[in-house]
Amino acid sequence: MDFGAEIPFVALLGFTLELFEGGESAIGYTPLPEHLNSFAVTHGGACMTLLDVTMAVAARSVQKDMGVVTIEMKTSFMRPAPGDGSQLMAKGRLMHRSATLAFTEATIYDAKGQACTHSTGTFKYVKRLVTGAKSANALNPPPSVIATD
């Protein structure tokens, strides 16, 4: 199963897509030693990335031809996500959708099934832009020149 888009950072972290349908998502992740913080648990930034992707996948699961961009995200860290080589599982769901926005939530569970981290997020649906190695999207056109005379 693939994410429907190439996401280099997701590939680097090693996320594995387990569920991508009907407003639900599940992504597995086994943190590597370089993904840990100084307390030898999974870094909060890695957890937030996992939650962000899990919520985005849940939002996209009802309209896979569209992309989504994160508008806002709130995260609560309830307990450390282990960094002992065990797999974490993030589960997400689409709570509500309007024509242009998705309201989502996701939780990371440790191997014992304990909730470690929880997020809610808002995403905007956007059309996918064709990009490649030698092309760029034009979401932000260059600013026009402002005359000063």
Q: Which residues sit opposite 96 in a β-bridge?
A: 103
Reading the block at residue 121, the tokens are: 């997020």
State residue 136's pLDDT score: 46
Residue 63 and residue 97 in contact, taking contact as beta carbons nearer than 8 Å: no
The alpha carbons of the chain give a radius of gyration, in whole angstroms, of 17
pTM, two decimal places: 0.86
Q: Checking DSSP bridges between strand 66-77 and strand 101-109, what pairing results, if any?
A: unpaired
Dihedral sign (CA 74, 78, 81, 86): negative
Per-residue pLDDT of the chain (149 residues; tens, 9 = 90+): 778 788 899 999 999 999 999 999 999 999 999 999 999 999 999 999 999 999 999 999 999 999 999 999 999 999 999 999 999 999 999 999 999 999 999 999 999 999 999 999 999 999 976 665 555 454 544 555 565 55
Give CA–CA dist 86/84, Å, rounded.
6
DSSP state, residue 135: B
State residue 3's pLDDT score: 80
State residue 6's pLDDT score: 84
